[in-house]
Amino acid sequence: MYKKLFVSLDLKVLLPDGSQRRLLDYLLPSAFLMAAALLLVVSMFMPYWQMRMNAPQYPDGLFVKVYINHLDGDIREIDALNHYLGMPPLDEGGRFERSISYLGVSVLGMLLMAGVFIGNQWAGVLAFPALAWPIIFLADLWLILYRYGHSIDPQSALGSAIDPFTPPILGEGVVGQFGTVASFQPGLYLAFVACALVLAGLWLHRRAYKPVVDARRKLSEDNA
């Protein structure tokens, strides 16, 4: 069995100009892109971001965990506090993004899978959305936090007691009497690992398929 596997991986691919390359050179980029697509799908079921709010009256802190399609944690308690500032419920921020998140990330995974079957620069084009995904998530999160922190109603019970704010997306901050600690969570880390796999896969893809493209071009020029 092991001998057969060794022999199959040692097979050669014949290029249009008659040169040969290892079959493994073409399997590796496909494996990297497929692994990246799998990690993106798995990340959908894990939290991407968390904020902990600390105050003397809450010794255990208040937590908000952000998944790509829902929020979890002490949502009711935080909404009750924000009510005195005239701020909207937490669930209102990013509602549209959460409604399309599963479909969107699934499409990113399918684009990566499609790149497995493409032997030219279009593989990079199809992979680009997956590379941009973590940055898009963080940028949208920052915008939601900004809008949320600047939605204080000055006519509310405590609206005049706190200035507009934007909680940090990473690290420590202060919101009124609360200290905040924001951190990335496993889902986002998986998305970043997927990006690294995509970059490695694209590099291997170019190394494998550029000779094929060059051989075809040379053959076409010789026949012209």
Question: Strands 171-175 and 178-184, how do they pair?
Answer: antiparallel
Q: Which of 112, 177, 182 is nearest to 145 (CA)?
A: 182
- What is the full DSSP assignment across 165-220? ----SSEEEEETTEEEEEEE-HHHHHHHHHHHHHHHHHHHHHHHHHHHHHHHHHHH
From first to last of the 224 residues of the chain, give the pLDDT tens digit: 444 444 455 666 655 555 666 767 778 889 999 999 999 999 999 999 999 999 888 888 999 999 999 999 999 999 988 887 778 888 888 899 999 999 999 999 999 999 888 877 888 899 999 999 999 999 999 999 999 888 887 777 665 667 888 889 999 998 878 899 999 999 999 999 999 999 999 999 888 877 766 666 766 666 65
Alpha carbon distance 111, 120 (integer Å): 14
Whole-number pLDDT of residue 163: 80
Global pTM value: 0.85
Q: Read off φ and ψ for residue 37, nearest 5 degrees.
A: -60, -40
pLDDT at residue 148 in the model: 87
Of the candidates 21, 16, 29, 207, which has an alpha carbon nearest to the alpha carbon of residue 126? 29
Show me where the domains of the chain are located: 24-208
For residue 65, give the 3-state DSSP assignment. strand
* pLDDT score for 5: 46
pLDDT at position 1 is 45
